[in-house]
Amino acid sequence: MNSITKLLLALMLVMGLTACKKDEIKDDTDSAVIVDDSTTQDVTTNAIDPRNHTDARNLDNPESLLSKRVIYFDYDQSTVRAEFRPVVEAHAAFVAANSSASVTLEGHADERGSREYNLALGERRGNSVSGLFSAQGVRGSQMSVVSYGEERPICRETSDSCWGSNRRVEIVYTAR
């Protein structure tokens, strides 16, 4: 390697690092803004850790997985997709750690096919989530499954995306 190449490489490396650094700085600035918005400076030290899934405050914290309450499913399927596992696990951790908490798992289906089959399919989706909850130590008394089948759609259009948003389980807290 000649010295020019070395110089170029070094330059690229530095530039790359700078770029990374810029991103980090940008992130820091963003979160700093959030902290500044809060009323007291003390909040910084008592800040909610959004990854603490046993903290009830995270249920309303948009940064936390606990604020996400809807699990979506594939057509005629009731398996919780990998991308939604962390959300289910976060809620399971919360309910397992808070014995006074309870949830209703509302299962839904899209409009295709027969209504009573979809009612059963919605329940199977709810059961699929409740199974994962049980596996994480949630007691049966803390959760119930209700299926609405295709009767309570979020979206009323006849399209793939609309159907996708209707195939869901909603985690509804009846007690925190």
Partner 1 sequence: MNKQLIYKRSKISHLLASFSLGVMGLLFLVQNSYAKLEIEILEGVSGAIPIAIVPLKWEATTPPPLTLPNTVVAADLYRSGLFNPLPAEDIIATPASGDEIRFAAWQALKNDYIVVGKISGDVVDGYEVSFELFDIHTQQRLLARVLPVKPGDLRYAAHRIADAVYERIIGVPGAFATRIAYITATGTGNNIEFQLMVADADGFSPQAIATSPEPLMSPAWSPDGNQVAYVSFEKGNSAIYIQNILTGSRQLISSFKGINGAPSFSPDGRRLAVSLSKSGNSEIYLHTLGSSDFTRLTNHWSIDTEPVWDSNGRYIYFTSDRAGRPQIYRIKVTGGSPERISWEGEYNARASISPRNNKIAMVQGSKNRYRIAIQDLENNRLIVVSNGILDESPSFAPNGSMILYASKENGKGVLSAVSVDGRVKQRLILSEGDVREPAWSPIIQ
Q: Which is nearer to partner 1, 53 or 108 (CB)?
A: 108
Whole-angstrom distance between the N-terminal and C-terminal Cα of the chain?
64
**Min CB(75)–partner 1 separation in Å:** 9
**Min CB(103)–partner 1 separation in Å:** 14
**Min CB(73)–partner 1 separation in Å:** 14
Q: Which is nearer to partner 1, 53 or 168 (CB)?
A: 168
Element (H, E) at 171: strand 168-175
Q: Which is nearer to partner 1, 34 or 75 (CB)?
A: 75
Q: Which is nearer to partner 1, 52 or 144 (CB)?
A: 144
> Which residues contact partner 1 by CB under 8 A?
76, 111-117, 119-121, 123-124, 127, 144-149, 151-152, 156-158, 160
CB 130 within 8 A of CB 145: yes
**Min CB(149)–partner 1 separation in Å:** 8
| Neighbour order of strands in the sheet with 143-149 | 70-72, 168-175, 102-108, 143-149
Q: Which is nearer to partner 1, 67 or 127 (CB)?
A: 127
Alpha carbons 138 and 101: distance in angstroms, whole number: 10
**Min CB(158)–partner 1 separation in Å:** 6
Sequential DSSP letters for 67-135: G--EEE--TT--SPPGGGHHHHHHHHHHHHH-TT-EEEEEEE--SSS-HHHHHHHHHHHHHHHHHHHHH
